[in-house]
Amino acid sequence: MSAAVSDAWRPVRRLLAEPLGALGIALVLLVIGGAVLADWLSVYEPSRISPRDRFQGPSWTHLLGTDQLGRDLFSRVLHGGRIALSVALFSTAASLAIGVVLGLIAGYGPRWLDNLMLLLFDSIKSFPTVMLALALVTLFGPSLTAVVVVVVLVNVPGYARIIRTQTLALKESEFVTAAQSMGAGTARVLRVHIMPNVIGPLLILASMDIPVVIAIEAGMSFLGLGVRPPTPSWGAILNDGFTAIRDTPWIVIAGGLPIILTTLGFTFLGETLRDVFDPRLKGRG
């Protein structure tokens, strides 16, 4: 029993043993904690407008100051974390699910389908991310849905390609041929012999993509193409502060710092995860 418990904790201990991993975990826990406990930690309603308090610098009443509408930036940052994390989680999960399915089809299916899907992936990838986002926003209008669709479109071709490449390699491997020679059908080969071997590396890569997703959400909100006001979002805070950057720089600082801390945290964590669990992946962009 105790052996099982210590086995379960071993990966965590290995992560914590790496200074970068420990820092990453600390930052990620900080951000998640802030987002989960946002209602409890913040004294003010994130969207409550208070014209009397506009453009106040950081103080004990307003830890990070207030914006042009007198909203408390600390509360907005905490609640913005909820948006960022939920978008990141949801869209990454969606991209993973779609990417794995498409990748397995491309890798294991007939050759012509593989070529067709590769062309499609390459075409989608040939739109620069922001251009794709801008084009999609004209289609959907500014909204969180648009953000999620952009993230899925940006991530899926990459994930599908990785799964496809590995599936192609595994398809020719002797243990898959051995399973086929025993009479295993396509479903069994994919489920038992291919999936377990391709999913681990992809999960690690996806965890390293979370900062990218957060950047897309914040970037689109910064451009006014993501969440609609008055919903708090880190990008929206940056947008609010940017026009007043000369006189009230704290708004921009309040919007940018959580983005930096979150992306660094997830990246450090993802890097360490990869180094500890899958050293072969090192160097993948």
Partner 1 sequence: MLGYTLKRLGLAVVIVSLAMAILFVMIYLIPGDPAAVALGPRATEAMRESLRVKMGLDQPVWVQFWNFFTRAWTGDLGNEVLSDRPVAQVVMEQLPHTLALIAGGMVWSVALGIPLGCWAAVKRGSWADRVVGIVSVAVIAVPSFVVAIYALLIFAVTLRWLPAIGAGDAGDLGDRLTHLILPSLAVGLGWVGYIARMVRASMLEVLEAQHIRTARAFGLPETMITYRYALTIAILPTVTLLGVGIGQMLSSAVFAEIVFARPGVGKLVYDAILTRNYPLVTGAVLVTTVLFVLINLLADLLIGALDPRVRSRF
Partner 2 sequence: MTPLLDVRDLQVAFRTGPMLARRDVLGVAGVSFRLHPGETFALVGESGSGKTTLARAINGLQPISAGSVHFDGQRIDRLGRAAMKPLRKVMSMMFQDPVGSLSPRMTVRDLVTEPFRIHGVRAELAAETTRLLALVGLNDSFADRFAHQLSGGQARRVGVARAIALNPRLVIADEPTAGLDVSVQGEVLNLLNDLRERLGLSMVIITHNLHVVHHVADRMAVMYLGRFVETGQTDAVFRAPAHPYTAALLSANPEPDPDKARERIALPAEVPSLLARPAGCEFHTRCPWAQARCRTEAPEMRPHGDRHLACHFPLAPGARPPERDIPT
Residues of this chain that bind partner 1 (CB under 8 A): 20, 119-120, 122-132, 134-139, 211, 214-215, 218-219, 222-223, 225, 238, 242, 245-246, 249, 252-253, 256, 259-260, 263-264, 266-268, 271, 282-283, 285
Provide the 10 A C-beta neighbour count for residue 89. 12
Should residue 185 be labelled a site residue for partner 2 when binding is judged by CB under 8 A?
Answer: yes
User: Which region among 82-90, 126-134, 191-199, 226-234 touches partner 2 (by CB under 8 A)?
Assistant: 191-199
In a 13 Å sphere around the CA of 229, the CA atoms on its Cβ side amount to 12
Q: Which of 192, 245, 257, 260 binds partner 2 (CB under 8 A)?
A: 192
Asked if residue 171 binds partner 2 (CB under 8 A), the reply is no
178 binds, among partner 2, partner 1, none (CB under 5 to 8 A by kind): partner 2
Q: Is 54 in the site for partner 2 (CB under 8 A)?
A: no
Q: Which does 126 bind (CB under 5 to 8 A by kind): partner 2, partner 1, none?
A: partner 1
Q: Which residue has the tokens 């990008």?
A: 235
3-state secondary structure the chain: CHHHHHHHHHHHHHHHHCHHHHHHHHHHHHHHHHHHCHHHHCCCCCCCCCHHHCCCCCCCCCCCCECCCCCEHHHHHHHHHHHHHHHHHHHHHHHHHHHHHHHHHHHHCCHHHHHHHHHHHHHHHCCCHHHHHHHHHHHHCCCHHHHHHHHHHHHHHHHHHHHHHHHHHHHCCHHHHHHHHCCCCHHHHHHHHHHHHHHHHHHHHHHHHHHHHHHHHHHHHHCCCCCCCCCCCHHHHHHHHHCCCCCCHHHHHHHHHHHHHHHHHHHHHHHHHHHHHCHHHCCCC
CA distance 133 to 170: 35
Size of interface with partner 2, in residues (CB under 8 A): 18
- Residue 145: name its binding partner from partner 2, partner 1, none (Cβ under 5 to 8 Å by kind): none
Residue 188 binds partner 2 (CB under 8 A): yes
Q: C-beta of 189: minimal distance to partner 2 in Å?
A: 10
| Contact partner at residue 228 from partner 1, partner 2, none, CB < 5 to 8 Å by partner kind | none
Q: Which residue has the tokens 């210590």?
A: 6
* Residue 134 binding partner per list partner 1, partner 2, none, with a CB distance cut-off of 5 to 8 Å that depends on partner kind: partner 1
Nearer to partner 1, 61 or 138 (CB): 138
Q: Which stretch binds partner 2 (CB under 8 A): 68-76, 180-188, 232-240, 274-282?
A: 180-188
The residue count for the chain: 285
In the complex, minimum distance from the CB of residue 192 to partner 2, in angstroms, rounded to a whole number: 7
The minimum distance between CB 216 and partner 1, in angstroms, equals 8
Q: Out of 51, 196, 279, 285, name the contact with partner 2 by CB under 8 A.
A: 196
128 binds, among partner 2, partner 1, none (CB under 5 to 8 A by kind): partner 1
Q: Which residue has the tokens 């040939």?
A: 126
Residues that bind partner 2 (CB under 8 A): 173-185, 188, 192-193, 196-197
